[in-house]
Structure 1
Amino acid sequence: MASPPDPAALTNTHIPHNPNIIEPYLQDALNTSSSSAHPAHLINPTSRTSHPINAPNAITTYPTLKLNTRNQILLFPGSFNPPHQGHLATIRYFHERRDQLAIVAMFIFADPSDIIGTKEKIWGDIILPQSLRNQMFAEVLELAQLIEGRWLHLLVGDMEGHINVLRDTTDLIADAGWDVNLVGFLGGDKLSIESPPHLPPGGLRAWGPVDEFLIMNARRPVDFYDPGPDASPHNLLGCTEWKRGKLKVEHEQSVGALWLCRALTVPGEPVIQFRASKRSASNGISSTKIRRIMSEAPDEELYGQLKDKVLSVELLLEWLKIYRKTKMMEDEGAL
């Protein structure tokens, strides 16, 4: 394998130094996007956090790109309406297994509010502003430390802009000589045995130019796999047959057995990685249940019903108090 790239050899980009971390490549991609109509940008932890970022267990060194491996940049998009403990558990799962999965960075992208409004969801009338959803992530001490350490990033922009920035970042890293993939993470409900991946619920065409997709059942069951001895996933419509990938035994015990297929109905026929675990550790928390509480629970019961489910619950309650008051005034005005 070649030696790490020499910064002086990077003649076709504006990347200045430290080419073994993604930050200069990412910043170059962000600067390029700043001329677009809806430029993407990153959010840093807010000053409202009640704990210092530089706590004893805070990360002090940036993640580095590795030789002799394919570095994975993981994109975790979603409505996050609102962010909850299940989302935190998923982020924690990937961070704890970042070495086994070669994840050098993870990006969260909260869908714009107008996009959420186009989705038919139960109890979907309440739509939190995108800025609030990002702030609810950033004020969690554990996540704020990961953001400060540059492993986790909160990316803001429109649907096209965010993927363009990540694609440009990945291409710059690859041009500098590193082996790197942009991987889209799919929740357990995003692929179904009943429909091909280019149609909902997968809708992989809408993601744009990612290299691969990753789905797992460790946090949420999938309908195309029944855990058991020597179990294999059921084939998906519009995809090649699943083929078993090779993993070290200790890695398989940590991240599940690796299965691979290609989505034939999606441009570029991207690879879908499925990490099959022996069980799912879902805590049963869902955005739908939370939104029902937000819609129906009396004011005095909101904190008690939401505090163990929602991230940064105080922020949510501040916003919800104003939302309810405004809605009540609008309803009275309509009478």
Structure 2
Amino acid sequence: MAQNTQQGTGKAVPDFRPMQPAPARNHLDPYVRLAVPGQMTKPIRPPTENTTLRKGRTNRILLYHGCFNPPHHGHMGHLRHALRYCGQEINVIGAFIIVLPNGMLDLKLGVNSKEIKLDIKKRVALWDEELRAQAQAQAGNRDEGWVERCWVMMRSEWSQAEPQLEQDFARDGFDVEFVTLAGGDKFSEYSTHVGWGYPMTMTTNISRPVFFYKSTSNSPLPKTLRDHTPWELMPSNPHSPRRVVFTCRYIGLYKTYTLRFVSALFSEQLDPTLSSTKVRSIINTTQVLTRNSSDQEKVTRLATRLGGVVLSPNLLAQYIVEEWKKRGNDAPQFLELRAIASRYKY
């Protein structure tokens, strides 16, 4: 991070001056395309200031891991809020959405679970389709430049790309640091160490509340976390959109990391009950409600019910109806959901 020295104190303070345009050859997309073969089939991105690597300061990239089964607006809202308001001074130039493998769904839901388990390629496609739609909607709006900083990949691709990217960045003289973006549900009063091997972890309360902070609280600072230093309020940046940002540090015997909390206004917080579990419940209920409908009508009705809840609802509805056809209406949850479905109307 660029620093200035405060006159008379010798104390370093953040440099919030607007960044100057950099050459296109420092754009992040070519590095990602070379390190992640799956990106080569996707459109080449034009250079932008938001995704430009700069020498003389640390360039940071968010790592957003998840099963995303399926991805929904809570996931996207969490990522969008972090990119918009994390603070220009930490220079976040990109975010990698890393989709976990099918085996993780078996561990999370159970090998024998009859819940919908979307193949990893479909979960990646749902993210890609939504980001394309968002990019088109935001075209020409400089204040909505978060989509251009997002890349979607499978975890197997990331595992191979990480050392390659580190090598390429170092070769070209760029200081790059990866930052974990964690959901608010990853923090509890008794378990808060989520550094995951990286020097910084970031979270927000836009999609799910965090136990250590309430927007309506009279306390100016979040609750101090176990084994962490007290929170510090970060200076406001007059050149970027503002939200209150706090940081603290975990200092352990073998590792340390910084936790950066990007708060959300109470009025902008999303429905805290929105989750992949809730989405799967909507899907299961709709299966019962449309059991006598044509495939096209099932897709239309399911997409309508999922609209505003999931990413790429039309594409997801097609995937789900294909899965229903494979399973048939004799799936175990079918009979169990009839009573539930009777309470719902279109």
TM-score, scaled relative to structure 2? 0.69
After superposition, residues 257-268 of structure 1 pair within 5 angstroms as 257-262=245-250, 264=252, 268=255
Q: Give percent identity, aligned residues only.
A: 24
- 1:319 is aligned with what amino acid? Y
Cα separation, 2, equivalents of 1:91 and 1:276:
13
Are 2:200 and 1:194 aligned? no
Q: What's the counterpart of residue 87 of structure 1?
A: 75
Secondary structure (helix, strand or coil) at the match of 1:214 reads strand
* Larger displacement relative to structure 2 (128-137 or 112-121): 112-121
Deviations 1:168-213 (A, max 9, x none): 424532453333210010011111123242xxxx5x54xxx43321
Q: What's the counterpart of residue 130 of structure 1?
A: 120
Q: What's the counterpart of residue 42 of structure 1?
A: 39
What is the RMSD computed on CA atoms of the aligned residues?
A: 3.7
- Note closer, same or farther for the CA distance 1:174–1:211 as it changes in structure 2 (3 Å cut): farther
Q: What's the counterpart of residue 322 of structure 1?
A: 322
Are 2:267 and 1:271 aligned? no
Deviations 1:60-93 (A, max 9, x none): 4242123454221111111111111222333433
Alignment partner of 1:183 out of 176, 179, 185: 179
Q: What's the counterpart of residue 26 of structure 1?
A: 32
After superposition, residues 241-260 of structure 1 pair within 5 angstroms as 241-244=229-232, 246-248=234-236, 250=238, 254-260=242-248
Secondary structure (helix, strand or coil) at the match of 1:259 reads strand
TM-score, scaled relative to structure 1? 0.71
After superposition, residues 85-234 of structure 1 pair within 5 angstroms as 85-97=73-85, 100=88, 101-120=90-109, 125-140=115-130, 141-143=132-134, 151-158=149-156, 162-197=158-193, 202=194, 204-205=195-196, 209-227=197-215, 228-234=217-223
Alignment partner of 2:59 out of 27, 47, 71: 71
Q: What's the counterpart of residue 293 of structure 2?
A: none
Cα separation, 2, equivalents of 1:168 and 1:151:
19
Secondary structure (helix, strand or coil) at the match of 1:117 reads helix
More helix by share: 2
Cα separation, 2, equivalents of 1:271 and 1:322:
44
Contact 1:43–1:155 (CA<8 Å) still a contact in 2? no
Cα separation, 2, equivalents of 1:259 and 1:27:
33
Structure 2 unaligned segments of length 5 or more: list them: 3-22, 139-144, 291-297, 333-346
- 1:302 is aligned with what amino acid? L
Deviations 1:140-169 (A, max 9, x none): 23456699x8622111242xx514523542
Q: What's the counterpart of residue 306 of structure 2?
A: 306
* Larger displacement relative to structure 2 (250-259 or 279-288): 250-259
- 1:317 is aligned with what amino acid? A
- Note closer, same or farther for the CA distance 1:274–1:74 as it changes in structure 2 (3 Å cut): same
Cα separation, 2, equivalents of 1:170 and 1:229:
43
The structure number with the bigger radius of gyration is 2
Cα offset for 1:133?
1.1
- 1:176 is aligned with what amino acid? D
Cα separation, 1, equivalents of 2:174 and 2:187:
30
* Larger displacement relative to structure 2 (288-297 or 217-226): 217-226
Cα offset for 1:274?
2.0
Cα separation, 1, equivalents of 2:325 and 2:199:
46
- 1:135 is aligned with what amino acid? A
* Larger displacement relative to structure 2 (243-252 or 309-318): 243-252
Secondary structure (helix, strand or coil) at the match of 1:292 reads helix
Contact 2:28–2:53 (CA<8 Å) still a contact in 1? yes
- Note closer, same or farther for the CA distance 1:130–1:43 as it changes in structure 2 (3 Å cut): farther
- 1:218 is aligned with what amino acid? I
Cα separation, 1, equivalents of 2:249 and 2:302:
44
Contact 1:193–1:234 (CA<8 Å) still a contact in 2? no
Structure 1 unaligned segments of length 5 or more: list them: 3-16, 31-39, 46-52
Count of residues in Structure 1 that have an aligned counterpart in Structure 2: 285
- Note closer, same or farther for the CA distance 1:274–1:153 as it changes in structure 2 (3 Å cut): same
Q: What's the counterpart of residue 47 of structure 2?
A: 61
- 1:281 is aligned with what amino acid? Q
Secondary structure (helix, strand or coil) at the match of 2:328 reads helix
